Structure 1
Amino acid sequence: MSKPRPGCKRGAGLLAICLASGCGMREAPSEAQGPQQPPATVSVETIKAMPLEVSDVFPGRVAPLRIAEIRPQVGGIVKRRLFEQGAEVRAGQPLFALNAAPFKAEASMAWAALQRAEAALSRAQVQVARMAPLAQAEAVSQQAYDDAVSQRNQAAADVAQAKATYERRKLDISFATVDAPISGRVDQALQTEGALVSANDAAPMARIVQIDQVYVDLRQPAGSLDLVRRKLATQGGVSRAAAGVPVTVLQGNGEPLAVTGRALFSGMSVDAGTGDVLLRVLVDNPRRVLLPGMFVQARVPLAHYDSALTVPQQAIVRNGGRPAVWTVSSAGQARRVPVTLGELVDRRYRVATGLKAGDRVVLRGAEKLTEGASVMATSADSSSLAATSVEADSPALAPVPTEAATRAR
């Protein structure tokens, strides 16, 4: 037999080493395997159905309920001012006294003319009564009798005219005292004693504004007009003017004023420059805290939901502009749920469709989730979350502007 060659021995040794190392490589992964990664920890909020009032804040300007310019109906010299400037006056209260002597003299002349006309009428009536039997007996001509009747009728017309003139002169005497046409607060006097005034003067003698109730004319975007009209239409049982939509007038710091207001109507045209529509609000103003010309803000309710589901703004995630939320099932698995969003109120979106009461919505940790992944859910207090939202801006959602959105802008 021939002896094995040395090269064969070396090849067999290398093959044994390779086989040994290959077995070691197959066993290495099993030795390197450790415990599985723990599930992601997320903060969740269990949503509940609650009543929701959607409102918005609009700027406005105060206008008086009534305003009257005090003007004389006759000309004359102002003798006295009969009111305190800035005081409250009632309808019919005397404000100015003009010199009435000329009007009294004219009334006396009119009275004398009336007496003369009545005397002429009496004489004409006696003449007709005397000629009537003579005309029947043909003792006088028919022409003479007809003339007597005509003179009687003319005298009666003169009496009526004289009475009218006398009544007009008496009115001039009463017009010498200028009365308040409405109740309200009288402004400063624009004419003083001794001034000559007439009915054709360009400037009034004073102005009266009624401010126990005032109008607040709000400017609202045309987009929210349908909501306000729908709210007005739901005020059943009484007329709109009597009930209306309740409106809260706000101070400069945002606190509500101690006044009550109600919306009366919305304008019929849209401002071409601003795109706004007028909304007139009637406000009770017993303490006169609102003055004409003031700029104010008012909170107008736009919608009410008896049972609404809301989620914090930061819970919304978007994919291609479509809103969705991450939820955690009872089995502890993450699910991405598309939703339809409504109004934004106090940094919370109303969810129209996609969720139900009792669902757990992820508020924190959504960036670590995948569909069906196991998660560990912890309860989160939404009031302690950051004010900024993790969602990106997208034109796909255009919620109705509300009070919170207005403040954000």
Structure 2
Amino acid sequence: MNRLLNRLPFQPLTLGLMAAGLLTLAGLGLFATRSQAADTAKPGAATATKPSLTVTTTQAQSGMLPIKLAANGSVAAWQEASVGTEVSGLRVQELHAAVGDYVQRGQVLATFAAESVQADVALARAAVSEAQANAAEALANADRARAVQGTGALSAQQVNQYLTGELTAKARVESAKAQLDSQLLRLKHTQLLSPDSGTISSRTASVGSVVGAGTELFKLIRQSRLEWRGEVTSAELGRITVGTNVVVTSPTGAQYKGRVRMLAPTVDAATRNGLVYVDLNGAVAGTKATPGAFKPGMYARGEFELGSSGALTVPQTAVVVRDGFSYVYRVGADNRIAQLKVQTGRVVGDQIEVQSGVKPEDKLVAVGGSFLSEGDLVKVVEAPKAASKPKEAVAPEKTAQAATK
């Protein structure tokens, strides 16, 4: 009983302290809420959405772009000569040209063993001498027969025999001379000469081999001239004419300007493609000393220059390809992004043609469009100017007008 009485005086004091603490906490919470609300209501508070990206803008430019027709094809020799021997049964003694050498017209390419031919020439000369001696005797007999003809010293038959013998002897001399000429020609052919200037593209001859007449020993690219044979569809073949300029690019990146020399008179029935023969100006078959950028058999790409036409172009960096489609990003008056689907065309340098989807007055994101989406907020800044010579001062009115464009 006494313990209970001792506690009673302290119970109200405890309850009061607890109530005071609760009121204090409630007051602090209310003060924090009001302070937060007051801060939010202050002018200049960051309530706007933060821009997604800082960008520069560009606009489509109108101008003239070249019309080009691209095609693929093979590089080939303008003409290739087959060089072979005209004498049968001769042994190759020495070779004077190899693959890749540039040779001149009349230059010796190979020599054959000439001992047997020289012996035949000596026999032919002896036969000519013998025929000439017999012809001299026959001529003397014929002269004597003509002198006594009609006197009865010789019968008519004998006179005819002497006269016929003269003609026969002369014919034998001519025959012997022809045989000698033939052997001299064989002797001349023991040296194989180049029929034209050009580059040796193939050599099948080997020292010591015995070759027959007509055997090909060398192949020669005449005058080292090359041509490009472009494959063009039958529908596009009519757009090309003789004399059209062409730019041909090799796999190494080297470019040569050419001109259409001829159009094929027929079209391949399997591929429906026709060949266009283009002379490559300045492109020659490479030699061992000076390798060329083009080689026969090489596959190359060419562009036919067919004129020019007007077009709208934008920088290539402004076009983004997504899911197989091309897009540009227009910046609206509120700096919000609108994604526009466009149809692209020709590419010239760092510019690309936009055939549809863009107007000249549209402000487009110049770089970084791949990081944006429809409705994004961006911050627009001026593009940095390239370093150049100082320009004359511009009036403030003109500067302001340029900034508003």
TM-score in terms of structure 2 length:
0.59
Matched, 1:171 2:185: yes
Q: Which residue does 2:221 correspond to in 1?
A: 209
Letter in structure 2 aligned against 1:103: V
Q: Which residue pairs with 1:390 in the alignment? A: none
Matched residue, 1:265: 262
Which SS does the other structure have where 1:159 is aligned? helix
Structure 2 CA distance for partners of 1:90 and 1:311, relative to 1, 3 Å: same
2:319 is matched with which residue? none
Residues 160-239 of structure 1 mapped to structure 2, 5 A cutoff: 160-187=174-201, 189-199=203-213, 201=215, 204-210=216-222, 212-229=224-241, 232=242
Deviation at 1:166, TM superposition (A): 0.1
2:111 is the counterpart of 1:97:
yes
**Structure-2 change in CA distance of 1:213 and 1:54 (3 Å):** same
Assess, with a 3 A threshold, how the Cα gap between structure 1 residues 349 and 123 changes in structure 2: closer, same or farther.
farther
User: 1:148-171: per-residue Cα shift (whole Å, max 9, x none)?
Assistant: 221111111111111110011011
Does the CA-based 8 Å contact 2:250-2:293 persist in structure 1? no
Matched with 2:358 is 363
When residues 246 and 385 of structure 1 are mapped into structure 2, their CA distance, relative to the original with a 3 A threshold, is: farther
Displacement of 1:60 after TM fit? 0.8
* Corresponding residue of 1:251: 250
- State the distance in 1 between where 2:174 and 2:246 align: 58
In the alignment, is residue 278 of structure 1 matched against residue 275 of structure 2?
yes
Shift of 1:106: 0.4
Alpha-carbon separation, structure 1, partners of 2:168 and 2:198: 49
Which AA in structure 1 matches 2:200?
V
Q: Distance in 1 between matches of 2:94 and 2:357?
A: 78
Q: Distance in 2 between matches of 1:382 and 1:161?
A: 94
Contact 1:247/1:261, CA 8 A, preserved across alignment: yes
Identity %: 20
Residues 312 and 382 in structure 1, CA contact (< 8 A), matched pair in contact too: no
Shift of 1:115: 0.8
Partner of 1:310: 311
Report the Cα distance in structure 2 between the residues aligned to 1:134 and 1:65, rounded to whole angstroms: 72
For 1:44 and 1:189, locate their aligned partners in 2 and report how far apart those are by CA, in whole Å. 61
Matched, 1:60 2:73: yes
| Deviation of the 1:185 alpha carbon | 2.1
Separation in 1, partners of 2:201, 2:238: 40
* Equivalent pair of 1:80/1:98 in contact (CA under 8 Å): yes
Determine if contact 2:85/2:192 at 8 Å carries over to the other structure: yes
Letter of the 1:212 counterpart: S
Counterpart of 2:128? 114
Contact 1:70 1:180 in 2 (8 A): yes
Cα distance, 1:382 vs structure 2: 11
Other-structure match for 2:159: 145
Quote how far apart the aligned CAs of 1:119 are: 1.2
How much has 1:266 moved relative to structure 2? 0.8
Whether 1:299 and 2:303 are equivalent positions in the alignment is yes
Cα offset, 1:139, TM superposition? 3.6
Structure 1 residues 109 and 311, CA, compared in 2 at 3 Å: closer, same or farther?
same
- Once residues 63 and 47 of structure 1 are traced to their aligned partners in structure 2, the CA distance between those partners, rounded to angstroms, is 40
SS of 1:215's equivalent in the other structure is strand
Paired amino acid for 1:56: L
Aligned residue for 1:29? Answer: none
2:13 aligned residue: none
- What's 1:34 paired with? none
The 3-state SS of whatever aligns with 1:363 is coil
Q: Distance in 1 between matches of 2:95 and 2:62?
A: 69
The CA deviation at 1:144 is 2.1
CA distance 1:386–1:183, change in 2 (3 Å): farther
**2:61–2:312 Cα contact (<8 Å) kept:** no
Tell me how far apart the structure 1 counterparts of residues 77 and 272 of structure 2 sit (CA, whole Å). 25
- TM-superposed CA distance for 1:136, in Å, is 3.8
1:65 partner letter: W
Question: Separation in 2 of the partners of 1:212 and 1:114?
Answer: 45
Q: Tell me the secondary structure at the aligned position of residue 135 of structure 2.
A: helix
Q: Aligned residue for 1:338? A: none
Separation in 1, partners of 2:299, 2:80: 19
- The higher radius of gyration belongs to 2
Cα separation, partners in 2 of 1:191 and 1:265, compared to 1, 3 Å: closer
Displacement of 1:278 after TM fit?
0.7
Q: Is the 8 A contact 1:363 1:380 kept in 2?
A: no
> What is the total number of aligned residue pairs between the two structures?
272
Report the RMSD for the aligned CA atoms in angstroms.
3.2
Q: 1:182 deviation in Å?
A: 2.5
Superposed displacement of residue 348, structure 1: 4.4
Check conservation: 2:77, 2:296, Cα contact below 8 A.
Answer: yes
Change (3 A) 1:81 1:44: closer
1:130 to 140, 144, 147: 144
Whole-Å separation in 1 of the counterparts to 2:174 and 2:369 = 88
